[in-house]
Structure 1
Amino acid sequence: MDRLTLRRPDDWHLHLRDDAMMRAVLPETTRNFARAIVMPNLVPPVVTARDAAEYRDRILAAKPTGSKFRPLMTLYLTEETDVRDLRAAADIGLITAVKLYPAGATTNSASGVRDFSKVRRVLENMAQIGLPLLVHGEVTDPEIDIFDREATFITRVLDPIRRDIPGLRVVMEHVTTRDAVDYVREGGADIAATITTHHLVINRNHILAGGIRPHYYCLPVAKREEHRHALVKAATSGDASFFLGTDSAPHLDTAKLQPCGCAGCFTATNTLSILAEVFEAAGALDRLEAFASLNGPAFYRLPPNEDRIVMEKGAPVAYPSSIATEEGPVTVFDPGMPLHWRVAE
């Protein structure tokens, strides 16, 4: 097979940042994706309906001329989130989901939740109206090894919440472990998971073996090879519980290449080419459309896109090594393999 037609995909987990950075990286997503769930961890974060509306308008103003891209907005859950404001934003279709960051778990998460009892009423209201909760699934207890924090989050936090608030619809974002894959697969209709492009390709050796490679450093951090295999198996299985959320996270190179560098891989530019390689290697090109274009809309109760894209296989694609911004370059994720699939112009 050297030609593949797909419904235009969506990205169910995307960081656009704001201002100059957002203007620079947004075209990398709008080129191929119809919609994206936009993360709210700005500084300050997007915590109210007004914040979400203003951020949406900035995104729409920055998108390329003629683009039909639609940002799907989220609110950042805090211990002070106003239930009435949240429900009003959901009622008018302003927001598509709410994001839970355990405080200190990742980039710009300082305003996240520490005491989960303080957000119970919000979560109960979300269950009533069917508004999805998107979770960064890691505990922040410094005594828990960083490679164990996702599995521990499931047992300590996520499973108790789901038992206490039945009907709460949850997306466990950017899963990185076999533990999370198994939990989601067995969790019923109210839970799903996004899988990133980079976690399908790299394991922790790519970050650490032979020298530290900061552009592969992300949170949740990549795990052992056995976990990467579990992610590939889940993504390529056709199981509707799993769908694409790139977690494409732009950082200036000057912020990545520091003694304490930022976490995140910028994959918006070459995601679809990488996915086609992964799915082809797994003998599952016929299931790429489900993962990238169908399963996400089904969980979010949205129609799939009617528009199509065509992917073609040929000589290796020469993607740029970085994207220029007003403040410096953002390195594009290097999958470490030739990419023969491209979206046809």
Structure 2
Amino acid sequence: MHSLTIIRPDDWHLHLRDGAVLARTVPDTASQFGRAMIMPNLTPPIVDTRMAVAYKARLDAQKSSLIPLMTLYLTDHTSALEIQRAFDSGIVKAVKLYPAGATTNSAAGVTNIEHIYPAIEKLAELGMPLLVHGEVTDSHVDIFDREKGFIDQHLAPLLHRFPNLKCVFEHITTDDAAQFVAGASDLVAATVTPQHLLYNRNDLLVGGVKPHLYCLPVLKRNTHQQALQTAVSNDSKKFFLGTDSAPHAQGAKESACGCAGCYSSPAAIELYAQAFESFDALDKLEAFASLNGPDFYGLARNSDTITLTRRSWQIPSSLSFGDEVIIPLGAGETLNWKMEA
């Protein structure tokens, strides 16, 4: 195969940040994707509809072709009334659950699932999706076990209590999560990142810590990586593209306490193509990247296409990022597929 044409993909889990760096992140995303589900963990977080509307205006001011789909950041105090207001706005498409302390800018997240039952009940009533960062944050739980702990302690009981809740288990990293989603109702789906398909914890840790591969949830052992590859390459409609592209300047990554997040937007679809080819599933890429996501969210598929051509090229070693520099995921690596302009 020398070229591959697919319906234009969407990114169902994306961090764009704010301010001057939008001049980097928005065009990088728009060059490949039609729509993107925009994460709300800014500083301060996007906790109400008014803030979401203002953030969308700042994204639209970049004058790109990207259609941003906005989300709200759940807190212990998010009311059913605010959920209704977000739904009625037409621009807020989902609500994001961060357990407090689980990842970047999550300190204002949910401390107890029971605190958000009124908001969850309203989401289920409206058919509005709950997007879940699925990790427990208890200090005694090993970081490699936090996803499974969340399934057992929180997600399974939550979906049992609210069986009509539409839920996306974001950036899954384990066989446990893949099996849970596969066995759940059709209201439950998952996003999978390029880094969790391409790399495992050996890539992160062997020969020295690689800060630009550090993300949360952290990369797992190769058996979990293989389970994700199997999940996205079967015919299930439950798994779809969500890069979790999360930009941090080089200095913030290469520090005594490096930030979690991989910046994959500049070469996201090529990274996915590289991954899918590695496990002989290029014929499954379009469903994963372009069909399953909009179908789950009840949105029309994109009407245009993109073409990937087989040719070797190198991901840039660095990129400008406001007044600083950012190191993209796979910096300096050679990829086999290139998206044509």
Tell me the TM-score normalized by structure 1.
0.97
Deviation at 1:117, TM superposition (A): 1.1
Match in the other structure for 1:340 = 336
Task: Please say if residues 198 and 335 of structure 1, whose CA atoms lie closer than 8 Å, have aligned partners that are also in contact.
Answer: no
Match in the other structure for 1:184 = 181
Note the alpha carbon deviations across 1:136-194, whole angstroms, 9 max, x for none: 00000000000000000000000111111110111000000000000000001110000
Task: Please say if residues 252 and 327 of structure 1, whose CA atoms lie closer than 8 Å, have aligned partners that are also in contact.
Answer: no
Within 2, Cα distance between the matches of 1:260 and 1:321? 22
Within 2, Cα distance between the matches of 1:135 and 1:336? 32
Identity in percent:
49
Q: Secondary structure at the match of 1:62?
A: coil
Match in the other structure for 1:35 = 35
CA gap of 1:233–1:337, structure 2 versus 1, over 3 A, is farther
Within 2, Cα distance between the matches of 1:85 and 1:210? 49
Match in the other structure for 1:318 = 314
Q: Which moved more, 1:43-52 or 1:267-276?
A: 267-276
Within 1, Cα distance between the matches of 2:265 and 2:322? 18
Match in the other structure for 1:214 = 211
Answering whether residue 196 of structure 2 is matched by residue 199 of structure 1, we say yes
Match in the other structure for 2:252 = 255
Match in the other structure for 1:171 = 168
Match in the other structure for 2:9 = 9
Q: Secondary structure at the match of 2:237?
A: coil
Task: Please say if residues 274 and 335 of structure 1, whose CA atoms lie closer than 8 Å, have aligned partners that are also in contact.
Answer: no
CA gap of 1:191–1:335, structure 2 versus 1, over 3 A, is farther
Equivalent residue letter for 2:322 = E
Equivalence map 1:1-345=2 (5 Å): 1-63=1-63, 67-314=64-311, 316-334=312-330, 338-345=334-341
Deviation at 1:105, TM superposition (A): 0.2
Deviation at 1:325, TM superposition (A): 2.0
Task: Please say if residues 47 and 74 of structure 2, whose CA atoms lie closer than 8 Å, have aligned partners that are also in contact.
Answer: yes
Deviation at 1:88, TM superposition (A): 1.9
Within 1, Cα distance between the matches of 2:144 and 2:192? 17
Equivalent residue letter for 2:75 = T
Equivalent residue letter for 1:319 = I
Equivalences, count: 341
Task: Please say if residues 323 and 330 of structure 1, whose CA atoms lie closer than 8 Å, have aligned partners that are also in contact.
Answer: yes
Q: Secondary structure at the match of 1:340?
A: strand
Q: Which runs of 4+ in 1 moved over 4 A?
A: none
Deviation at 1:95, TM superposition (A): 0.5
Q: Secondary structure at the match of 2:132?
A: strand
Any stretches of 5+ residues in structure 1 without a counterpart?
A: none
Q: Secondary structure at the match of 2:13?
A: strand
Tell me the TM-score normalized by structure 2.
0.98
Deviation at 1:335, TM superposition (A): 7.2
Equivalent residue letter for 1:325 = F
Deviation at 1:343, TM superposition (A): 0.9
Q: Secondary structure at the match of 1:270?
A: helix
Note the alpha carbon deviations across 1:95-115, whole angstroms, 9 max, x for none: 010000000000000000001
Q: Secondary structure at the match of 2:147?
A: helix
Equivalent residue letter for 1:38 = I
Deviation at 1:337, TM superposition (A): 5.1
Q: Secondary structure at the match of 1:313?
A: strand
Q: Secondary structure at the match of 2:325?
A: strand
Deviation at 1:282, TM superposition (A): 2.1
